Structure 1
């Protein structure tokens, strides 16, 4: 009886929850972990090992089935082999073939014995990032970045490995959203006269919070992995004695910095810190390359320059252009001294003096009388031209308009074939007319200009006001820039000079440079081929599936009822080795003991439909201990329990365990259950292995065959394509 409640009695906390004896949360977690580990160990010992063993055997058995000769050379696998060839062509060999056709020897036309300096001009890689397609969901944006990066990597690798250019110049727009990623230093906000368009304003908060300096550094490493690493490996593989090689990627584009009066100076400082000065001079192949940051230069002629102080944006490029002619002479003089093998002179005398007394204006003065080499102008934004100036037949977007009958000159103006003379937020398709004229005049001796920005090819010859300079706008190398066939431009330079004087040597040629447009594969056409082949493959597999029951062809799908019966395309009738042929229960089996009074009739659907012996006690056919075959006599009250050891009164546990035997192949016995199986002679007999299968309908066979073959082709082809994408 429970003790009555007493006010004098006091409640005692369990030790675990008593305030003075309470355990910490860490102890509770340790106890839970220990309990979980013990449960896993117990599960592994009792059932886990057997389950793992059975799984391994099943997988090994399935693998053995699929490695038979007739499975390996089956039609679906032959179709997969065809897909492998097509994917290798579209993802690898097509790039090799396209770049191979651009080999220097296929288009260079220099005198015999000439040793030209070969240059590759790469424009607008414009790495895809969250700024490119801000509305795309998560899975599509990373997939787009992977596909476009692989295209750039494969194209550029072939450029380096096959063409092996001496120098490489990038013409800006290295990133797509480089100007949008917040800097670690300096003020980063839109000027009041140049806010983001409404379509982008809803993303600004996320961009500034998520994509900052660290993200830009990741993009810089991504650019280096695609473009710098192959160049470094190519240089390292050349060994000693190769020509001097140079890679210049410091020319900025409007997607890297912005344009004109909307440029943020901290963004430009970050870009130049990692890529180098945007305004520079390089003497290559006896030509002077002048790179000009025209996106910053355009701020001086903007309308906002008259209302706001924008000198911080355009002053650096102004100072560069102001002293450009003198700097060009110095660069040519250094090159000539190098060709003559002379040691460069020091600017200061070698002596020790105190810093507060040092004079830095006593540089040794030396008259420089270096000759003028042909100058090549590099700018991201194309030079000015009248609206409708045609770009020529190599422009992809719109070919030139056909002239009227009897007219031989090109149609002017041809707005479809021309670069649009227009501007907008953070872009301007061409420079202002005055800026272009001033730029050509300050650079001086420009024999050719190369630009980017437009993404498509455009070749024009400018007006006399711009010194009649020929200009080529280079195609984008990216597949995501609106051109079906991306490309790059090859430039071959041959201008032999006398190292002593720098004057050109006589040659039979009248020009010092030749160009060639190298086109890359159309990724859209490649994907259309994949789609076409996929539809053809499905149709072929469907036709074959229909012919399997009609013509009696060997099915590819394994029989689900007898997965081990298909060997070499024919049913062997052998029983699976995974099925036991003999099972003897242990004598001591406590877990099988039933409660007192439990009869065998409880096993038969709960309706007492058990087969009864003469005494009326319930029993199950076949569950007869060894040594009692055919004996079915009543043994009195509780004989069933005593017979089976099911908690019979005063009998304890049974010592004689029932035995189940499965006859081997060939032991066929007819019984009331049919098929050579069932109970006979006191033993359970398994049905004969040669079981007659129920005939399936033709539709079921066809559907199963279609599903099995299509699935096999799909996962193997998709897996191989994924491996190619992962490898780059």
Structure 2
């Protein structure tokens, strides 16, 4: 007997004693489908909601009961995936990475606006990943003939100007003598010739500069040795549209709410304004109905947006500013001055070089990069005061908060100094929150706190188009200049992708205003990346609660020393979710494989289809021989001699006895007989009852007519499977075929059950990622 026969008998014996295995085969598929539905729903929706709900403002804010804080969300380094992110990945994998990262950020961003309902959303740079590498629109270079023509036109214009000046001079000096007029004419002619000569010399220098391949600062130069030269403005606009669909779309900013802008005249003022002393109504041209409007700031650039230090290109930076707004700015949120600085451009003034920080001569050659940011820092107190004045004018319309005109090219030095002196006299300042994409300098190895995921500190290093922190000297300069706009309450930065919390100590107050320097402790928080593709398993965002009610003079009346509270909010581990799906998939395959093997050995496939398996029916029927007759015949007739019959004869399934008064027609199934029997062997005469054979339905004509049952491949082909008769020529062949059939049954059952579970899981997953 083969081993698989013994295993089958043991399995049947175990099944008869306990029905748990049969229940397992029946309930395995429904339980697995339910497990997949639960896992997908938890991984694709419930987990995201639980993480956002855990960051509820009330769970960590510590303000007085009557406080109405301004609630702000910082989002750092979304850095949407593009061809620059994973350049070595093939097409299908790169497209899937792009779709999954976008869906991850879009879902979390929508839940933030829906569950947390912030007042403001501020991005801390690195909106794109390869934005600095994509070619900008540049004018076509002039040909040599076009350039010569332009030079002639320019010289002609200069000559006409000189002639016009000469005519005006002659009209004014009409009383002069002819000799004096001729002398003046000669001088003016010499001056005109000098001007034309200078123009030609300038053009010659320009041509030599072009021949020497000197680069115009306004022209775009492809980085990484021209690797991304073929990716142009079209790619940048494509990523800009993606960013807008994720963060600017109304369904993302205001989910589950119908918001629209309508014309308005008298609109109820914000409760916080009324509490600060404003009137019940304020005059506006337009208003947003359906809920409060959120303030959205995306103008802070990162090194992946515009480059870093000497690598910043003016055309790239101008493109970013045109689409996202001015980088260096002051906004008033929650009665705090939010000061944003273009740190990547400012780093051109001082960055890590091979010999140390940038020397003054080299910094001067990069003046076109860092000068706008440095000029902003020099006048930051004026910009902050103007923004505060505009905000206070909304709070207290009956007060005059005009601090003079904004400095411009038309304003004289005297007027500018008068405006700055008026600002110094006003002493009207709000606490400052400084925003910089690049963290400020700290000593190497400075601990970032227990909430950091990788390592314990930010490394002080740099490379191509990046630097982990600003230099020490530049950080001190920034802190001192910004402190002129008010006391720095907190600093927020990004770039590192991981969380970091440090405390700086700066000597502030020694610049700008005439006040003695003081040592100030300023906390800085580096915000985690919002994307799960930036090297951190647990992305996150930062919550900031601002509460600083003020009086008409800008003084705080809240009664709280601290005006800002912050909290880290973690997002789901997307990689962990995918790993859990993989574990469940492996468990599903093992369970279904075991189930298929059990069904093939036990024959449950026939049970489930409503038919009884041949093997189980054979083993369940009694096996015996009737010993009532001398020759062992079950029907009372002697067995024919084997020598007289050629070939193997099948046993008759129906035996007939002579009809007597006390005997009835008997039907006896022999050991190997089935429903249909074979004819008696030729040469034997069996007596029939008088009057012929009665019309009995159970008779098979095959028992009377040999030719009617000449079927060599009928249901009795299994005879000998469990017989000890080794002379059966078909027995071995049947055993091999049975083993093959069982393997086939197991494979078919496994494929069918796996298809059912996988189909249900895919349907639920697609529904989850598209509609949940």
Shared fold per TM-score greater than 0.5:
yes
Which residue is 1:472 aligned to?
Answer: 525
Which residue is 2:502 aligned to?
Answer: 460
Residue 482 of structure 2 is aligned with which of 443, 466, 471?
443
Residue 429 of structure 1 is aligned with which of 457, 468, 479?
468
Structure 2 CA distance, aligned partners of 1:392 and 1:190? 48
Structure 2 CA distance, aligned partners of 1:233 and 1:668? 84
Q: Does 1:516 align with 2:562?
A: no
Of 80-89 and 717-726, deviating more is: 717-726
Other structure's SS at 1:300 match: coil
Alpha-carbon displacement from aligned partner over 1:69-109 (angstroms, at most 9, x marks no partner):
x9xx9743542232122112112111110110010011111
Structure 2 CA distance, aligned partners of 1:190 and 1:152? 43
Structure 2 CA distance, aligned partners of 1:249 and 1:237? 24
Structure 2 CA distance, aligned partners of 1:121 and 1:131? 25
Alpha-carbon displacement from aligned partner over 1:118-139 (angstroms, at most 9, x marks no partner):
0001111011110011111111
Structure 2 CA distance, aligned partners of 1:483 and 1:572? 58
Residue 529 of structure 1 is aligned with which of 580, 600, 606?
580
Q: How far 1:195 moved relative to its partner?
A: 9.6
Of 123-132 and 177-186, deviating more is: 177-186
Alpha-carbon displacement from aligned partner over 1:590-609 (angstroms, at most 9, x marks no partner):
xxxxxxxxxxxxxxxxxxxx
Structure 2 CA distance, aligned partners of 1:513 and 1:345? 25
- For the structure 1 residues 492 and 572, does the alpha-carbon distance in structure 2 shift closer, same or farther, using more than 3 Å as the test? same
Q: How far 1:232 moved relative to its partner?
A: 3.6
Alpha-carbon displacement from aligned partner over 1:353-404 (angstroms, at most 9, x marks no partner):
xxxxxx9999999856361100000000000111111111111113xxxxxx
Residue 556 of structure 2 is aligned with which of 504, 518, 521?
504
Q: How far 1:347 moved relative to its partner?
A: 12
Q: Does 1:309 align with 2:365?
A: yes
- For the structure 1 residues 363 and 76, does the alpha-carbon distance in structure 2 shift closer, same or farther, using more than 3 Å as the test? farther
Of 182-191 and 443-452, deviating more is: 182-191
- For the structure 1 residues 255 and 111, does the alpha-carbon distance in structure 2 shift closer, same or farther, using more than 3 Å as the test? same
Q: How far 1:713 moved relative to its partner?
A: 2.4
Q: Are the counterparts in 1 of residues 306 and 317 from structure 2 also a CA contact under 8 Å?
A: yes
> Which sections of structure 2, spanning at least 5 residues, go unmatched?
1-22, 142-212, 260-287, 352-357, 509-519, 614-699, 703-707, 715-736
Structure 1 CA distance, aligned partners of 2:360 and 2:244? 36
Residue 132 of structure 1 is aligned with which of 82, 85, 90?
85
Structure 1 CA distance, aligned partners of 2:107 and 2:701? 66
Q: Are the counterparts in 1 of residues 106 and 252 from structure 2 also a CA contact under 8 Å?
A: no
Q: Does 1:245 align with 2:198?
A: no
Q: How far 1:224 moved relative to its partner?
A: 1.0
Which residue is 1:328 aligned to?
Answer: 384
Alpha-carbon displacement from aligned partner over 1:260-306 (angstroms, at most 9, x marks no partner):
01111111111111110111111010111000001000111243873
Which residue is 1:117 aligned to?
Answer: 70
Q: Are the counterparts in 2 of residues 332 and 370 from structure 1 also a CA contact under 8 Å?
A: no
Q: How far 1:551 moved relative to its partner?
A: 3.9
Which residue is 1:486 aligned to?
Answer: 539
Alpha-carbon displacement from aligned partner over 1:402-436 (angstroms, at most 9, x marks no partner):
xxxxxxxxxxxxxxx11101111101100011111
Q: Does 1:339 align with 2:427?
A: no
- For the structure 1 residues 268 and 714, does the alpha-carbon distance in structure 2 shift closer, same or farther, using more than 3 Å as the test? same
- For the structure 1 residues 492 and 700, does the alpha-carbon distance in structure 2 shift closer, same or farther, using more than 3 Å as the test? same
Which residue is 1:371 aligned to?
Answer: 428
Q: How far 1:449 moved relative to its partner?
A: 0.3
Other structure's SS at 1:718 match: helix
Q: How far 1:549 moved relative to its partner?
A: 3.2
- For the structure 1 residues 244 and 282, does the alpha-carbon distance in structure 2 shift closer, same or farther, using more than 3 Å as the test? farther
Other structure's SS at 1:485 match: coil
Other structure's SS at 1:697 match: helix
Alpha-carbon displacement from aligned partner over 1:453-485 (angstroms, at most 9, x marks no partner):
111111111123473211000111110111111
Residue 107 of structure 2 is aligned with which of 145, 154, 163?
154
Q: How far 1:714 moved relative to its partner?
A: 2.7
- For the structure 1 residues 220 and 304, does the alpha-carbon distance in structure 2 shift closer, same or farther, using more than 3 Å as the test? farther
Residue 284 of structure 1 is aligned with which of 320, 333, 348?
333
**Runs of 4 or more off by more than 6 Å in structure 1?**
186-197, 343-349, 359-366, 673-676
Structure 2 CA distance, aligned partners of 1:546 and 1:110? 64
- For the structure 1 residues 257 and 240, does the alpha-carbon distance in structure 2 shift closer, same or farther, using more than 3 Å as the test? same
Residue 107 of structure 1 is aligned with which of 60, 63, 71?
60
Structure 2 CA distance, aligned partners of 1:420 and 1:196? 28
Matches within 5 A, 1:288-303: 288-302=337-351, 303=358
Q: How far 1:720 moved relative to its partner?
A: 3.8
Q: Does 1:214 align with 2:234?
A: yes
Structure 2 CA distance, aligned partners of 1:191 and 1:549? 77
- For the structure 1 residues 125 and 272, does the alpha-carbon distance in structure 2 shift closer, same or farther, using more than 3 Å as the test? same
Structure 1 CA distance, aligned partners of 2:293 and 2:402? 23
Q: How far 1:536 moved relative to its partner?
A: 0.8
Q: How far 1:158 moved relative to its partner?
A: 1.3
Which residue is 1:9 aligned to?
Answer: none
- For the structure 1 residues 468 and 370, does the alpha-carbon distance in structure 2 shift closer, same or farther, using more than 3 Å as the test? closer
Q: How far 1:569 moved relative to its partner?
A: 3.8
Other structure's SS at 1:332 match: helix
Structure 2 CA distance, aligned partners of 1:326 and 1:345? 13
Other structure's SS at 2:441 match: coil
- For the structure 1 residues 305 and 86, does the alpha-carbon distance in structure 2 shift closer, same or farther, using more than 3 Å as the test? farther
- For the structure 1 residues 264 and 195, does the alpha-carbon distance in structure 2 shift closer, same or farther, using more than 3 Å as the test? closer
Q: How far 1:492 moved relative to its partner?
A: 0.5
TM-score (norm 1): 0.63
- For the structure 1 residues 174 and 379, does the alpha-carbon distance in structure 2 shift closer, same or farther, using more than 3 Å as the test? same
Structure 2 CA distance, aligned partners of 1:242 and 1:704? 58
Q: Are the counterparts in 2 of residues 391 and 418 from structure 1 also a CA contact under 8 Å?
A: yes
Which residue is 1:258 aligned to?
Answer: 307
Alpha-carbon displacement from aligned partner over 1:159-196 (angstroms, at most 9, x marks no partner):
11100110011000111111011111269999899999
Structure 2 CA distance, aligned partners of 1:235 and 1:168? 18
Q: Are the counterparts in 1 of residues 548 and 558 from structure 2 also a CA contact under 8 Å?
A: no
Residue 390 of structure 1 is aligned with which of 409, 426, 447?
447
Matches within 5 A, 1:402-417: 417=456
Alpha-carbon displacement from aligned partner over 1:333-369 (angstroms, at most 9, x marks no partner):
11000112469999999xxxxxxxxx99999998563
Structure 2 CA distance, aligned partners of 1:348 and 1:440? 26
Which residue is 2:244 aligned to?
Answer: 224
Work out which of the two has the higher radius of gyration on C-alpha atoms and give 1 or 2: 2
Other structure's SS at 1:462 match: strand
Structure 1 CA distance, aligned partners of 2:541 and 2:298? 15
Which residue is 1:57 aligned to?
Answer: none
Structure 1 CA distance, aligned partners of 2:476 and 2:139? 34
Matches within 5 A, 1:611-650: none
Residue 711 of structure 1 is aligned with which of 741, 750, 755?
755
Structure 2 CA distance, aligned partners of 1:107 and 1:187? 57
- For the structure 1 residues 277 and 532, does the alpha-carbon distance in structure 2 shift closer, same or farther, using more than 3 Å as the test? same
Which residue is 2:627 aligned to?
Answer: none
Which residue is 1:547 aligned to?
Answer: 598
Other structure's SS at 2:433 match: strand
- For the structure 1 residues 236 and 291, does the alpha-carbon distance in structure 2 shift closer, same or farther, using more than 3 Å as the test? farther
Q: How far 1:244 moved relative to its partner?
A: 5.4
Which residue is 2:207 aligned to?
Answer: none
- For the structure 1 residues 231 and 708, does the alpha-carbon distance in structure 2 shift closer, same or farther, using more than 3 Å as the test? closer
